[in-house]
Amino acid sequence: MINFIKKMFPYFLPYKRKLIGSILFSFVLAGIKGYQAMLFEPIVTKGLSPDSSMTSVIQLILTLIALGIINFPARFFHFYWIRFTVDRIACDIRSEIYKKFQKLPMSFYADSKQGELISGQLNDTILFASGFRSVVDFIREPLTAICTFCVALWQDWQLTMVIVVASPAFIYIFNKTGKKIHENQTKVQEKISIFTHNITEGIAGQKITKAFNLQNYTTKRFESSQDSFFTTQMRSTFIEEIAHPLVEFIVYLAISGVIFFAHYRVASGALTTGGFISFIAAMIFMMEPIRKYSQSNVRLNQAKAAAERIFKLLALPEEVDVGEVDKIDFVDQIEIDNISFAYKDHDVISNLSMSVKKGQKVALVGLSGSGKSTLINLLLGLYPIERGQIKIDGINSTDIKLTSLRGLFSLVSQDIFLLHDSILENLTLGKNITQEQIDEALQVAYATEFINKLPDQLKTTIGDRGSKLSGGQQQRLTIARAFIQNSEILLFDEATSALDNESEKIVQAALDDLGHNKTVIAVAHRLSTIQHFDQIFVFHEGRLLEQGVHQQLLELGGEYHKLYELSKSTDELATVQT
């Protein structure tokens, strides 16, 4: 537990006043419980005795009222501050994990399941934060047990020894069940992660699920992961639930032994009836903290398992950023000098060299998997360059701070990302953007007309990833967003690949307007859209095979000519189908 407290200590510090106050109130609550046990003797001997006076009765009543007055604020602030701190710590840990997500490299996300990451941020943090409450319980409940134990000891130390004899059994149960739950809880959290991921897939993939009638298949996957989680969870539940009655059974045995020996103590006159009742009250009051201690032991071991997963995530290596240069403008050219890159053991780019001058519009073409989009990723610094270098105005891209490097580019991708929020929020992204800038961006993106037809116009909520809009409308919003960013270099990564002919024409016109007086690097699948570009680079299996302008490459009769004929046939087929 000491190691666990050390890990939690930095999270305690911002709330140390509430923590200390809560612990201090633990002493008050424990003392109240002990004093309540002591009161049973005067209640029997003075309050309920035929010989008792009204003065004694009034004193007892006033004492009970005084205890209630003290108990009210002590109990309220003790538990309120615990819950405040637990929930606040959970928020802090979630924020830390979310910030960590923003710093992890793209390679991490390529190997991770979305649902597992969501589960870790939600479920693990709840369990970890609840460990704080367990730590406070480990202070309050033993204090309460000690106070009631002292009352029992004061009433009759010989009877109290019966409870002492039973204590090794409690220690054994706590240690044994705690270790078992800790071992199994890691598996439980893994199963929750898989379970959550299947839920995420089921929701995100509704279009494909319905189109292919996969409802039964996805439901079986969900139920299989749910059953696996349930089975694993039940192992922990079994251990947890058997521990509580075991503890209570031992307490009952101890109290039974106490009653047996108390018969002789009362008969011999060594213990009064009131003293015995007070002793039994102390034993009953002691049972509650022992039971709660058992529950806290379970929660603490669950928290330990969650902590291991959380700190394993937080210890992951972050995106490498060794750059020290703040570069805010692009004045000359981008030089790609003999770079190579591989995804794990698969070579994607090999010995690639090319250059793009400021103001040029260049296209990257080639079959799928030839390395075009990978080059876009490398330009943005999303993956580290393994060999060679990319220079921007003569500065190695690795020497430029990542935020500064990415600020030079605006990306319009086939992978459209829009927030489940208003159009306005998707355009401004929390920045102070004037209405004039927004209007200009929408005009450039050919988005003004369709937005004005919406019931709430800019305030219209567009759904998850823009699901309430058409594909062309979604892409036009991303173009407007890129215009507002006003970066020097525009990256178009197959921005029209998923659109129909009519939408593509509109979006292509918007892209042309967006690229006016900018440097453009475009990954293109329809070659009819890049015939006017200043330079075309033809990729094949990660290598630069050809380069030149449209007519020049056609006359070569090489790879570009083949791609152009294939693209032309595809365009003609699409036109006929339309």
Model pLDDT for residues 446-491, shown as the tens digit of each residue: 788 888 888 888 888 877 777 777 777 887 888 888 878 878 888 8
Maximum C-alpha span of the chain: 122
Q: Residue 191: its pLDDT value, please?
A: 77
**Beta partners for 341?**
349
User: Residue 182 above 60 pLDDT?
Assistant: yes
* Dihedral-angle region of residue 429 (phi above 0 means left; psi in -120 to 50 means alpha; beta otherwise): left
Residue 198 CB burial class (10 angstroms; 0-12, 13-18, ≥19): buried
Q: Residue 577: its pLDDT value, please?
A: 44
Q: The tokens of 187 are what?
A: 């598996």
Mean per-residue pLDDT, 135-140 = 77
Q: Residue 49: its pLDDT value, please?
A: 58
User: Residue 538 above 80 pLDDT?
Assistant: yes
How many angstroms separate the CA atoms of 464 and 421, rounded? Answer: 8
Q: Residue 501: its pLDDT value, please?
A: 59
The helix/strand/coil state of 490 is: strand
Q: The tokens of 166 are what?
A: 């039973």
Mean per-residue pLDDT, 134-152 = 78
Give me the domains of the chain, ranges plus CATH numbers: 2-314 (1.20.1560.10), 414-486 (3.40.50.300)
Q: Residue 113: its pLDDT value, please?
A: 73
pTM: 0.74
Picking from 75-79, 388-392, 529-533, which range would have the lowest pLDDT averaged per residue?
A: 529-533
Picking from 14-23, 182-191, 384-393, 526-535, which range would have the lowest pLDDT averaged per residue?
A: 182-191
